[in-house]
């Protein structure tokens, strides 16, 4: 595995980091706790020592699973990345959307990052994770009802108390990052980035390069779209949010699979899967520090970790990128 520093900090994370959203089950149809734990342990055994989670993933379930998976591992050799700012248990702040929890109960999701809420969320996360500190604490989404400096003064307090090592953001634009920096030094921005979703390269990624902030790319596989395994007639499980997503409609799926067929010979030549090729391309992209990759079982986690073994020449990267550029012209 390759390890990369976040921003100007001394926090190093695995270039391919375990993304634990699906492990929580919520919006992914279901979760099998034992398989999720096995996936995280397998990832760790193959060098993916960094795990990204959030309280909202399964309304605490994902963090609990992470805590169970790492309880016997050396804490200083695991990097826990989690988040704050999405509440399902408190009707306060900016209403985000309505959903159902893993038991089918209706819940309302709110973006709320008031100081007292962040302090409480941190304590709850520490308990679920079974640890006394979080390596990277990130705001999940901007909360329009709370001043940014108030939110990050709370994070700065948690850093002073030793409960958080470093501060990051998710889904922030340049102006929001600049404002947050007034209260605390940020090391990273976790933003959506994939071969079919590159809007962040217009402004946010160049800013992060200039300011030496790391970019954590989430959904680099575009929720499984770029595996090449999802065909236009694919049937999603009940509760899987992808069923109605624009990227998973027949026309888009066909265009994507046509593109993947063009780059598949490179994967075949290296005895690698399309997923591994896509992950390797992602972490070679200018400005991208790490890629988050989810897994529902141990075998998927091991395959994600092995993407680091794929070596791409400058010519091969250019070839793939040229087809990425032409993808939806």
pLDDT tens for each residue of 126-164: 999 999 999 999 999 999 999 999 999 999 999 999 999
Residue 137 among the catalytic residues: no
DSSP SS3 for 245? coil
Percent of the chain with pLDDT over 90: 85
28: pLDDT strictly greater than 80: no
Strands (E), 20-133: 50-52, 79-84, 86-87, 94-100, 106-111
Contact at 8 Å (CB) between 309 and 277?
Answer: no
**pLDDT tens digits along 196-253:** 999 999 999 999 999 999 999 999 999 889 999 898 888 888 778 788 888 889 888 9
Q: Which of 23-32, 69-78, 81-90, 292-301 has the lowest mean pLDDT?
A: 23-32
Q: Which of 79-93, 95-109, 117-131, 132-146 has the lowest mean pLDDT?
A: 95-109
State the average pLDDT over residues 107-124: 98
Active-site pick, 44, 57, 96, 112: 57
Q: What is the C-alpha to C-alpha distance for residues 312 and 280, in angstroms, rounded to an integer?
A: 8
Q: What is the model's pTM? A: 0.95
Q: Which of 25-29, 45-49, 242-246 has the lowest mean pLDDT?
A: 25-29
What residues form DSSP beta bridges with 108? 98
pLDDT at 27: 60
What is the H or E stretch that residue 3 is in? Answer: strand 3-5
| Non-local CB neighbours of 92 within 8 Å, separated by 6+ positions | 110, 112, 114, 117
Q: Which of 6-15, 220-229, 240-249, 292-301 has the lowest mean pLDDT?
A: 240-249
pLDDT at 234: 86
Q: What's the mean per-residue pLDDT of the chain?
A: 95
pLDDT at 31: 67
Residue 210, judged by CB atoms within 10 A of its CB (0-12, 13-18, 19+), counts as: exposed
CATH class of domain segment(s) 3-227+274-311: alpha beta
């Amino acid at each position: 595995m390759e390890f990369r520093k976040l921003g100007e900090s001394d926090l190093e994370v695995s270039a391919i980091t375990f993304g634990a959203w699906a492990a929580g089950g919520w919006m992914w149809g279901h979760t099998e706790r034992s398989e999720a734990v096995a996936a995280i342990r397998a990832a760790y055994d193959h060098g993916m020592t960094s795990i990204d989670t959030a309280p909202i993933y399964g309304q605490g379930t994902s963090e609990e699973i992470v805590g169970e998976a790492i309880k016997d591992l050396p804490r200083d050799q695991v990097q826990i990345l989690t988040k704050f700012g999405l509440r399902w248990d408190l009707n306060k702040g900016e209403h985000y959307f309505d959903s159902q929890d893993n038991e089918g109960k209706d819940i309302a999701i709110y973006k709320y990052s008031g100081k007292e809420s962040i302090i409480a969320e941190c304590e709850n996360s520490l308990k679920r994770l079974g640890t006394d500190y979080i390596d990277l604490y990130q705001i999940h989404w901007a909360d329009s009802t709370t001043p940014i400096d108030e939110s990050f003064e709370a994070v700065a307090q948690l850093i002073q108390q030793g409960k958080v090592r470093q501060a990051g953001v998710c889904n922030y634009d340049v102006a929001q990052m600049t404002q947050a920096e007034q209260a605390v030094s940020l090391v990273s921005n976790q933003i959506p980035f994939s071969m079919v979703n590159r809007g962040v390269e217009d402004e946010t990624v160049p800013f992060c390069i200039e300011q030496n902030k790391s970019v954590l790319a989430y959904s680099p596989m575009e929720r499984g779209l770029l595996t090449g395994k999802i065909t236009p007639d694919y049937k999603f499980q009940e509760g899987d949010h992808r069923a109605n997503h624009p990227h998973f409609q027949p026309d888009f799926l066909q265009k994507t699979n046509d593109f993947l067929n063009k780059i598949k010979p490179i994967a075949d030549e290296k005895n690698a899967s399309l997923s591994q090729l896509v992950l390797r391309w992602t972490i070679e992209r200018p400005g991208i520090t790490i890629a988050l990759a989810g897994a529902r079982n141990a075998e998927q986690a091991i395959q994600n970790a092995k993407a680091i073994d794929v070596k791409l020449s400058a010519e091969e990267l250019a070839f793939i990128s040229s087809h990425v550029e032409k993808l939806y012209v």
